[in-house]
Amino acid sequence: MGIRKIGLGFFALILGYAAACLAATPQYENFSADMLLTSSGRNIQAKVYFNNGNVRTEMFQTISIIRRDQNVMWNIMPAQKMYMELQLNLDQLAQASPQTPGEVERVKVGDEMIDGRMTEKFKVTYDSNKGRQEMFQWIANSKLPVKMQAADESWTVEYKNIQTGPQDDALFLPPAGFQKMEMPALGGMNLQALQQMAQRVKDGEEKSQN
């Protein structure tokens, strides 16, 4: 099965968006976990590390590191021993929406046991390039994300095998000896732009399947 047929681009971007949501909310507890995305009956798994607002995601033989403290994102390609650097405008969006990019309302709808943890379930309304959207979030201990799901259940992101506690600082740096790739400036990508990119990729893949 080809990469295009499994919607690899959409999976990669929405997982990146999920990681960016973590970076936008530094009050989350430090942890590592397996991150599972389910969409249209397909599953993609990644490994995520969160430490003081910085996020590392390992997926598809690539590594993405979001450094909130430096407003930068590194995309690392271990096989080539190279990495790319993108400037991110995380603080601007976080000030406008301290919980979720584009968030306009958050309402608690109940308590629920998820993967052995008691969580608070929230209905979150947020703005995207397709207009007003809704999703659900499950948060344990007021600061540990366990699950996110679109209100129409078109996608779900779950965190499993969660290990709480400080993460190794070396996980949030490009490996020593890796070459930095030069690339043109992108004008400061923010979290809302990443969300919009994910939606455009999804829309394009749906059109190609029709």
In the chain, where are the structural domains located? 4-100+161-209
> Cβ distance 17 to 191 under 8 Å?
yes
Residues of the chain with pLDDT under 50: 1-11, 92-98, 184-191, 197-198, 200-202, 204-206
CA–CA distance from 147 to each of 16, 158, 200 (Å)? 15, 4, 23
Alpha carbons 191 and 180: distance in angstroms, whole number:
23
pLDDT of res. 25: 55
pLDDT of res. 202: 47
pLDDT of res. 181: 84
Mean pLDDT over each residue of the chain, to the nearest integer: 75
pTM: 0.71
Alpha carbons 53 and 27: distance in angstroms, whole number:
8
pLDDT of res. 18: 60
> Cβ distance 78 to 58 under 8 Å?
no
pLDDT of res. 28: 67
Give every CB contact of residue 113 below 8 A, 6+ residues apart in sequence: 119
Alpha carbons 51 and 79: distance in angstroms, whole number:
25
